[in-house]
Amino acid sequence: MKTLFDKLKNHPFYQKVINRETISYGISGVLTTLVNFISYEGLYRLGATNLTANWIAWVIAVTFAYMVNKWSVFRSRSENAKVEVIKIFKFYGARLVSLGVEQVGMYILVDKLGYYRWLIKISLSLIVIIINYVFSKLYIFNKDK
């Protein structure tokens, strides 16, 4: 008798959503988030303001994320240096969108309204992970482009 899990894993939606790429993206997203959080907290404790710590941590985390996404998640290879530079610019450019979402959210909710910074940082990170996956999958590491 087939279990519910057996039925689910053979469903086309499940096979499209749960695969090597999405699982490895989830793992790399967790690692990138940890890099971001540790960098952010370290910079904050060293005296950086909330927003300064956030954008510097962003640079560190995005650099880490680029390497992990390129090699492990999307297994992207570049034909030459020009193609690689274009991918890097696309990656950082797309991530600027998510940085903007996070910075505006942190500014309004933490700096202006006084909410606990970690509650907001964690909440915004969930939104940022989704935005970043969509940009990476459709725009940056798209095998058709």
Q: In this predicted model, what pLDDT tens digit does every residue of 115-142 receive, in sequence order?
A: 999 999 999 998 888 888 787 777 766 6
The residue among 145 and 43 whose pLDDT is bigger is 43
Tokens 């941590």 correspond to 57
The model's pLDDT over 65-116, given as tens digits with 9 standing for 90+, comes to 888 877 766 666 666 788 778 888 888 888 898 899 999 999 999 999 999 9
> Percentage of residues in the chain with pLDDT exceeding 70?
77
Q: How confident is the model at residue 47 (pLDDT cuts 50, 70, 90)?
A: very high
Contacts 24+ apart (CB under 8 A), 84-90: 87/140, 87/141, 90/139, 90/140
d(CA 82, CA 39) in angstroms, rounded, equals 31
Q: How confident is the model at residue 44 (pLDDT cuts 50, 70, 90)?
A: very high
| pTM of this structure | 0.75
pLDDT value at residue 60: 97
The residue among 33 and 21 whose pLDDT is bigger is 33
Report which residue type is found at 39. Answer: S
The model's pLDDT over 51-68, given as tens digits with 9 standing for 90+, comes to 999 999 999 999 998 888
Residue 116 CB burial class (10 angstroms; 0-12, 13-18, ≥19): exposed
User: Quick check: 117 and 65 in contact, CB under 8 A?
Assistant: no
d(CA 104, CA 66) in angstroms, rounded, equals 23
pLDDT value at residue 143: 59
d(CA 114, CA 50) in angstroms, rounded, equals 12
Write out the H or E segment, with its range, that includes residue 39.
helix 20-45
Secondary structure letter of residue 143 according to DSSP: T
